[in-house]
Amino acid sequence: MSTISKENYLKAIYQNLSLGVAATTSKLSNDLEVSNAAISDMAKKLSKEGLISYEKYKGMVLTKEGKKIALDVIRRHRLWEAFLAKVLGIPWGEVHNEAERLEHHSSEELINKIDEYLGYPDFDPHGDPIPRSNGNLPDAPKFIPLTKTKVGTAYKIARVNDKNTDLIRYFTKIGLKINGKLKVVDRLSFDDSLHVEINGRPFTFSEKIAANIFVNEYNPETEK
């Protein structure tokens, strides 16, 4: 049987794997803020239930069924984020924490109603793609980490990491928003910090901040 805890484990495994990061015991221990022993324990259970495949000391991979559950949890999470932001005007930096709890307590019918209400959106307020009810992700260009962009080039801001409320508040403050334009002015090789321009104003991002921002090619034709 699936529980809140198992949903969270599956989601965390999915999110690591989808970023190309191995779902190891220590990585998950860090992500989920529980001990290594707890991860090891749960890995056995999820494996026995056929939701992950797991060999001792080797990390975890989702089975088809495990992936389906993970995507469903993510769907619920992102739809809640979009819904709360749109209807209640909750700031995009704060919807994550609410969604983190609500995602485990909503019927499929409720989630589909929210989806319908929002007009079947493809992305949540942070630019993350929302899995459809059939489990597919909408097509979208692959996100480019701001850390890997070219100096002198303009990009479209496509996604920010949804997990840090304070950082997103700062983004709001400086006018950084999804689908906005960002120009990479310079990158200091000393610390990989970035000089960028947003709405004509200059800002400097540490590498750590830049790692939370993702962009796409900027296409002046399709933008206003």
Partner DNA sequence: CTATTAATTTAAGCATGCTTAAATTTATGT
Partner DNA sequence: ACATAAATTTAAGCATGCTTAAATTAATAG
6 binds, among a second copy, DNA, none (CB under 5 to 8 A by kind): DNA
Q: Are 163 and 96 in contact (CB under 8 A)?
A: yes
Output the smallest distance, CB 61 to DNA, in A.
Answer: 13
Output the smallest distance, CB 79 to DNA, in A.
Answer: 23
Token couple for 215: 């962009």
- Neighbouring C-beta atoms of residue 161, cutoff 10 Å: 16
Q: Are 115 and 133 in contact (CB under 8 A)?
A: yes
19 binds, among DNA, a second copy, none (CB under 5 to 8 A by kind): none
Question: Which position among 12, 51, 59, 129 is part of the footprint of DNA (CB under 7 A)?
Answer: 59
Token couple for 43: 């890995």
Q: Which of residues 5-24 bind DNA (CB under 7 A)?
A: 5-6, 8, 24
DSSP string of 182-221, one letter each residue: EEEEEE-TTT--EEEEETTEEEEE-HHHHTTEEEEE--TT
Question: What length does the chain have?
Answer: 224
Contact residues for a second copy (CB under 8 A)? 84, 87-90, 94, 97-98, 101-102, 104-107, 109-110, 113-114, 117
212 binds, among DNA, a second copy, none (CB under 5 to 8 A by kind): none
Interacting residues with DNA (CB under 7 A):
1, 3-6, 8, 24-27, 33-45, 54, 56-59
